[in-house]
Structure 1
Amino acid sequence: MINSVRQAIRIMNCFSTKTTELGVSELALLLSMNRSTVHHLVTTLYNEGLLTKTPNRKYRPGAKLLDWGQLANEQYKPFFIANSVIDNLVKRSNETVHLGILENESVSYLIKTEPSRPVRIGTSIGIPKPLHCTALGKVLLSFQPDKFVEKIISKGLRRYTQNTIVEREALWDEIQLIRKQGYAIDNEEFEEGLFCIAAPVRNYLGDVVCALSVSGPEFRMNTERIHIRSEIVIENAYEVSRQCDF
């Protein structure tokens, strides 16, 4: 049963804004699954309203997901108050701005706003990213209890680029630095050519509830100006904390 649920989720994850319709054979090929198994799962998803049929005998996400989306939107509604701050930060930095939360031992992007300039960042809303090698992730990880940090480390620190921190002691050194300076940097640690600065957003109790970041190509972010850029991100993260009812 658990495996069937996992396979059904994999089917749903095949759909995106770029791939809105898929047939059973296409899904079977994409997932390297038996066609009859895919057909059985797709039929179940269709009967539950999670998929709907198209005139050309393919499937696309069903209207039931709108109900789920509305529920999720209500759950994350307090975070969206930050949109005005984020828009201002995009104009000020002329780079991509993200707001992310800690969810299921990963960082999930809730908001992404881009400037109108070439070379953009290939991130997606709701897609989980690792904690140990993204600026948002490292900020969120750093302000968790030490026991949680050790739990993440114990599961292994996957290498994504030559700059990824993959050793326990090195990550702890990084976390101590982040806690001291109040911001984190991703210097091509998750994706080559990408540079990011992130700062924590706190609730009225002082707990970190999410994080704000500015991301851009390494050649454009200018590492010599990290101090100036980090102050801008910290300032705007504080403004999000002030405006949002956390």
Structure 2
Amino acid sequence: MPETDVNAEGTEAPDLANKSVVKAMGLLRELGRHPRGITVTELAQAVGMTRPTAFRLLLSMEQVGFVDRIDNNYTLGWEMARLGRLADPTAGVAAKVQPILERLAQEVNETISFALAKGPTEYDIVAEASSSRMLRVSNLYLHRQYPLHASATGKILLADLDDARVIKILPETLASYTRQTITGREALLREIRDVRANGYSVIDNELEEGLFAVSVAVRDADGLLLGVLTATGPDQRMKSGRLPSTVEQLRATAEEIAKTLG
């Protein structure tokens, strides 16, 4: 008898998910964490699957190019690489995170945005939600990238790199946007170290006069940076004793987004 769950009407609905496909996707996701390969025994243990089941699924995926095998080690196959080049990494992300951002925007009553990390120093702001306040920041951020040293999102990306990489990327003298912009690389490095220690970043009148933003990282189960969650608003309001609670709300929401994105 098929497994069932309860639908909106309170009646049981059949579970239409194909369990073998779900298990195969779990194997592929785990293989992505092992670019140099992993044995079937190690893979089965990692995903909580029996070795015969894992071997059968790997054999099937190997036949269609989703998995490669060299000796006893399995890796993602050429077909996965081909499909990866065709995929838009932002597709579907905005729809998944938008309801979460909407709820947080109402809770903190400020503008909330989520930027998807696209590389060590690149990101794309794929979703944004506005508060109900009359004085707010709205519809300014989508699909725009701001200077790494003068944006809270950029500082999170820089903090994910070591100091040597930051020095290689940034010049000694940085562009100025306001009187508060950090224009010295050494001064920025000191702030980046604080970001690593504190787990969040801020900009305070550094990109535009009167603009304050605070960001936290969104990470997957392995600690890799998926994106950045940011709250933005007028500096006087954002700094009026609310910052610690806002940071905690951002952190809790970042964990929720990470789970939602799988």
TM-score, normalized by the shorter chain, greater than 0.5: yes
Mapped contact 2:110–2:233 kept (Cα < 8 A): yes
| Equivalence map 1:116-155=2 (5 Å) | 116-121=132-137, 123-154=140-171
1:217 to 210, 234, 242: 234
Which residue number in structure 1 is paired with residue 125 of structure 2? 109
What is the DSSP-based 3-state SS (H/G/I as helix, E as strand, rest coil) of the residue aligned with 1:82? helix
Aligned equivalent of 2:106: 91
Partner of 1:182: 199
Structure 2: give runs of 5+ residues left out of the alignment: 1-84
TM-score by length of 2: 0.61
- The 3 A distance-change label for structure 1 pair 103 and 75 is closer
Distance between the aligned counterparts of 1:191 and 1:88, measured in 2? 26
Q: 1:239 to 1:95 in 2, by over 3 A?
A: same
Q: Which runs of 5+ in 1 are unaligned?
A: 1-70
Which structure has more helix as a fraction of its residues? 1
Task: State the aligned residue count.
Answer: 175
CA RMSD of aligned residues (A): 2.3
Please say if residues 199 and 213 of structure 1, whose CA atoms lie closer than 8 Å, have aligned partners that are also in contact: yes
User: Is the contact between residue 107 and residue 129 of structure 1 (CA under 8 Å) also seen in structure 2?
Assistant: no
Query: CA 1:164–1:106 in 2, change beyond 3 Å: closer, same or farther?
Result: farther
Q: Compare CA radii of gyration and give the structure with the larger one.
A: 2
Does residue 100 of the first structure (1) align with residue 115 of the second (2)? Answer: yes
SS at match of 1:129: coil
Q: 1:22-41, aligned counterparts within 5 Å?
A: none
Does the 8 Å CA contact 1:183/1:230 hold for their aligned counterparts?
Answer: yes
In structure 2, C-alpha distance between the alignment counterparts of 1:116 and 1:164, rounded to whole Å: 29
Question: What CA distance in whole angstroms lies between the structure 2 residues aligned with 1:112 and 1:239?
Answer: 16
Identity of aligned residues (%): 29
**Structure with higher RCO (Cα < 8 A, 6+ apart):** 1
Which whole-Å deviations, capped at 9, do the CAs of 1:142-184 have from their partners, x for residues lacking one? 1124343123322742111111111122111111111011001
Deviation at 1:107, TM superposition (A): 4.1
Q: What amino acid sits opposite 1:100 in the alignment?
A: A
How much has 1:200 moved relative to structure 2?
A: 0.1
1:73 positional shift? 8.9
1:67-122 CA distance string (max 9 Å, x none):
xxxx9994213532222221111110111001113447344321111123212326
> Structure 1 CA distance, aligned partners of 2:153 and 2:245?
18
Corresponding residue for 1:192?
209
